[in-house]
């Protein structure tokens, strides 16, 4: 059984069709993420084992292969530790399924499940100042079709704090302009939320709908062909706008801005405007307000750095504590 390629192929197919689709009713995005992980894993296994995916057996799907695959993701594909851990979570889920469905493979599955997630430093959340975001929003050329589309794209990202997957999933029918302008976002795990549109954003949406002549079932920010934009499309348009905005706003010249940076910017500006953290959590679609606490920490750190730069009064002196005991001196030197 462990050496039969047909058994491995059948287990993998049942994992998707039965476990994920039928039993867990996983969302299309989850299926796509799991699919991409196994595409990468099977191609890597083919390279390392010298076997095509159809010839791979359960015996080939062992812990050393998975450990080496994770190293390949980090050091050859230059994936982040977060991505590495997400891929491992997918593989461990499959190993758990294999352990239940194929007892002879229990030891193999347990060894894979024992591979730990990798710890990593959580960087301080990056966000743009109000001057920087205004320069970015004004960067696209409003006299062209792509420029108007990009201005709306950036404005929506800033207004809604949407994830990039949520933005490209907005159809015209998801927008309500009267009586209270809002947009319906399709979030992670099939969760939906409605986010209010600011007056300026609503005006841009109205103008865009008249200009582009879009139908209700079409994407609100489509490609030239009328198709939904991809993640890479959005990243490219932001990078292009950044190049233009940096010429007007010098502080943007050394910045790396992603769609998620705009999401952080929305949260920070709402927080600085005095909006309650629970409202921000609902605005961003966080399952728990605990996730939103990172923005409070980022804001406090920013204030502490500002305080550290304030010069002391002329008549004040900084006094450094000096230990009087040799043992204390030793501890101080550590």
- Which residue in 44, 97, 158, 295 is the catalytic one? 295
As to burial, measured by CB atoms within 10 angstroms (0-12 exposed, 13-18 middle, 19+ buried), residue 200 is exposed
- Confidence band (pLDDT; 50, 70, 90) for 124? low
CATH code: domain of residue 154: 1.10.443.10
Give the C-alpha separation, 57 to 110, whole Å: 17
- Which residue in 92, 207, 260, 269 is the catalytic one? 260
14 φ, ψ (degrees, to nearest 5) = -70, -30
Please report whether residue 284 resides in a domain.
yes
- The three-class DSSP label of residue 180 is coil
Q: Is 49 a catalytic residue?
A: no
For the CA atoms of 283, 193, 166, 301, the dihedral, rounded to the nearest 10 degrees, stands at 20
More confident residue, 300 or 9: 9
DSSP annotation of 220 reads S
Identify whether the C-beta of residue 186 lies closer than 8 Å to the C-beta of residue 169. yes
Most confident of 112-126, 163-177, 246-260, 269-283: 163-177
- Which residue in 163, 186, 204, 237 is the catalytic one? 163
- Which residue in 55, 77, 188, 293 is the catalytic one? 188
Q: Is 151 a catalytic residue?
A: no
More confident residue, 294 or 118: 118
Q: Is 269 a catalytic residue?
A: no
Asked whether residue 99 falls in the same domain as residue 68, the answer is yes
Picking from 57, 87, 113, the residue at the C-terminal end of a domain is 113
Write out the residue range of the structural domain in which residue 76 sits.
5-113
pLDDT of 212 above 90: yes
- Confidence band (pLDDT; 50, 70, 90) for 8? very high
Asked whether residue 291 falls in the same domain as residue 151, the answer is yes
What would the two tokens of residue 278 be? 């629970």
Asked whether residue 192 falls in the same domain as residue 50, the answer is no
What would the two tokens of residue 112 be? 């894979």
Cα torsion 230, 234, 239, 240: sign: positive
Q: Is 163 a catalytic residue?
A: yes
Q: State how beta strands 182-186 and 192-196 pair.
A: antiparallel
Asked whether residue 161 falls in the same domain as residue 293, the answer is yes
Identify whether the C-beta of residue 93 lies closer than 8 Å to the C-beta of residue 107. no
- Confidence band (pLDDT; 50, 70, 90) for 149? very high
pLDDT tens by residue, 82-118: 999 999 999 999 999 999 999 999 999 999 999 999 9
> Count of CB atoms within 10 A of residue 7's CB?
18
Asked whether residue 100 falls in the same domain as residue 152, the answer is no
- Confidence band (pLDDT; 50, 70, 90) for 51? very high
Please report whether residue 119 resides in a domain.
no
Predicted local confidence at residue 293, as pLDDT: 66
Asked whether residue 78 falls in the same domain as residue 144, the answer is no
Query: Would you put residue 274 in left (φ > 0), alpha (ψ -120 to 50) or beta?
Result: left
Over the Cα atoms of the chain, what is R_g?
25
Give the C-alpha separation, 159 to 173, whole Å: 18
- For the question of whether the overall pTM of this predicted structure is more than 0.85, the answer is no
Question: What average pLDDT score do residues 273-300 get?
Answer: 76
- Which residue in 151, 186, 263, 264 is the catalytic one? 263
Please report whether residue 314 resides in a domain.
no
- Confidence band (pLDDT; 50, 70, 90) for 297? low
Asked whether residue 65 falls in the same domain as residue 152, the answer is no
Q: Is 34 a catalytic residue?
A: no
Picking from 82, 113, 144, the residue at the C-terminal end of a domain is 113
Q: Is 188 a catalytic residue?
A: yes
For the CA atoms of 8, 13, 18, 22, the dihedral, rounded to the nearest 10 degrees, stands at 160
Tally of domains within the chain: 2
Give the C-alpha separation, 172 to 284, whole Å: 20
């Amino acid at each position: 059984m462990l050496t039969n390629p047909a058994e491995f192929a059948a287990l993998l197919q049942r994992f998707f069709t039965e476990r994920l689709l039928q039993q867990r009713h996983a969302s299309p995005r989850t299926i796509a993420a799991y699919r991409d992980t196994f595409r990468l894993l099977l191609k890597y296994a083919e390279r390392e084992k010298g076997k095509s995916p159809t010839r791979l057996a359960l015996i080939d799907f062992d812990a050393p292969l998975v450990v080496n695959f994770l190293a390949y993701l980090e050091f050859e594909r230059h994936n982040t530790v977060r991505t590495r851990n997400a891929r491992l979570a997918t593989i461990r889920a499959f190993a758990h399924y294999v352990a239940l469905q194929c007892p002879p493979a229990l030891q193999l599955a347990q060894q894979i499940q024992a591979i730990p997630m990798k710890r990593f430093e959580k960087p301080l959340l990056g966000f743009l100042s109000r001057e920087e975001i205004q320069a970015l929003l004004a960067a696209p050329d409003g006299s062209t079709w792509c420029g108007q589309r990009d201005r709306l794209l950036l404005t929506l990202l800033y207004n809604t704090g949407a994830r990039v997957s949520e933005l490209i999933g907005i159809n015209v029918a998801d927008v309500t302009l009267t009586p209270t302008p809002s947009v319906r976002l399709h979030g992670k795990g099939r969760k939906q939320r409605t986010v209010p549109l600011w007056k300026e954003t609503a005006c841009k949406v109205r103008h865009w709908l008249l200009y582009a002549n879009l139908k209700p079932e079409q994407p609100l920010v489509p490609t030239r062909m009328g198709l939904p934009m991809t993640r890479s499309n959005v990243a490219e348009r932001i990078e292009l706008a950044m190049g233009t905005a940096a010429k007007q706003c010098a502080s943007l010249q050394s910045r790396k801005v992603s769609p998620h940076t705009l999401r952080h910017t929305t949260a920070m500006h709402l927080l600085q405007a005095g909006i309650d953290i629970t409202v921000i959590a609902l605005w961003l679609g966080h399952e728990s307000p605990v996730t939103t606490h990172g923005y409070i920490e980022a804001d406090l750190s920013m204030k502490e750095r500002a305080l550290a730069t304030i010069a002391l009064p002329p008549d004040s002196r900084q006094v450094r504590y000096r230990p009087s005991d040799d043992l204390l001196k030793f501890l101080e030197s550590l």
